[in-house]
Amino acid sequence: MFTEAITVNGPEQLGNIQVPKRASYIRVIMLELSRIASHLLWLGPFMADIGAQTPFFYIFRERELIYDLFEAATERVEGVGFVGREEVINWGLSGPMLRASGIQWDLREVDNYECYEELDWEVQWQKEGDSLARYLVRIGEMVESIKIIQQALEGIPGGPYENFEIRCFDREKEPEWNDFEYRFIGKKSSPTFELPKQELYVA
């Protein structure tokens, strides 16, 4: 909060702006909380340096409580950094950025690649399009990833994990990049593809 104080105090002094007493008291409270948070940030590593490892974690827990209060007071992420549905489409955004703006689009569901269709999971999305929505989408996706991993570990079948019969590449035919007319095995080394200059391929 110290940088915020400088930002408002400078113009107020230049313009001789009188701040309400209530606002001044609130500022003092927030500034002193900032001071405590700053000193806790110093105290944690200091305690660890002298051999007191356990207090390090408790100190940062208390510091996070102060930052939770700051976030609630300032609405630091809610309504901030808004990107609407039309913008994410026109700008070509993808992933959590896309899903945080109200578009339920996930390649794992749309393309049905690998065995995702055999597992129980949900596309995480929000409609607000702000920083908070993007945060919630990512947190939700981590939870879904854990669910997917647990199901995959429980349901993984036996048998080989490689197809040794398909280890070829048709070199007589020019590769068609737009429809993926080539074959490969997992993460094994694949032939080196050379693209024409000034062309880019990204998957």
Domain range summary for the chain, segments of one domain joined by +? 2-74, 85-155
Mean pLDDT of the region 170-178: 54
Residue 164: CB atoms within 10 A of its CB come to 7
On the question of pLDDT at 163 being above 90, the answer is: no
Query: Closest Cα to residue 203, out of 152, 166, 143, 182?
Result: 182
pLDDT of residue 72: 81
User: Residue 128 has what DSSP assignment?
Assistant: S
| Lowest mean pLDDT across 15-29, 63-77, 80-94 | 63-77
pLDDT of residue 198: 60
Residue 99 · residue 125 · CB < 8 Å = yes
Residue 12 · residue 19 · CB < 8 Å = yes
Global pTM reads 0.54
Name the percent of the chain lying above pLDDT 70. 80
Q: Tens of pLDDT along 123-151?
A: 999 999 999 999 999 999 999 999 999 99
d(CA 121, CA 157): 19
Query: Which tokens in the block code for residue 179?
Result: 């429809």
Mean pLDDT of the region 154-161: 88
Match 């930052």 to its residue by tokens. 67
| Lowest mean pLDDT across 41-45, 56-60, 179-183, 199-203 | 179-183
Rounded to 10°, the helix 21-49/2-14 angle is 150
**Count of alpha carbons within 13 angstroms of residue 104, beta-carbon side:** 4
pLDDT of residue 74: 78
pLDDT of residue 175: 53
Q: Tens of pLDDT along 31-85?
A: 999 999 999 999 988 988 888 888 888 898 999 999 888 878 877 778 888 999 9
In degrees, rounded to 5, the angle at the alpha carbon of residue 186 between the alpha carbons of residues 180 and 191 is 60
141-150, Cβ contacts within 8 angstroms, sequence gap of 24 or more: 141/96, 147/120, 147/121, 148/116, 148/119, 148/121
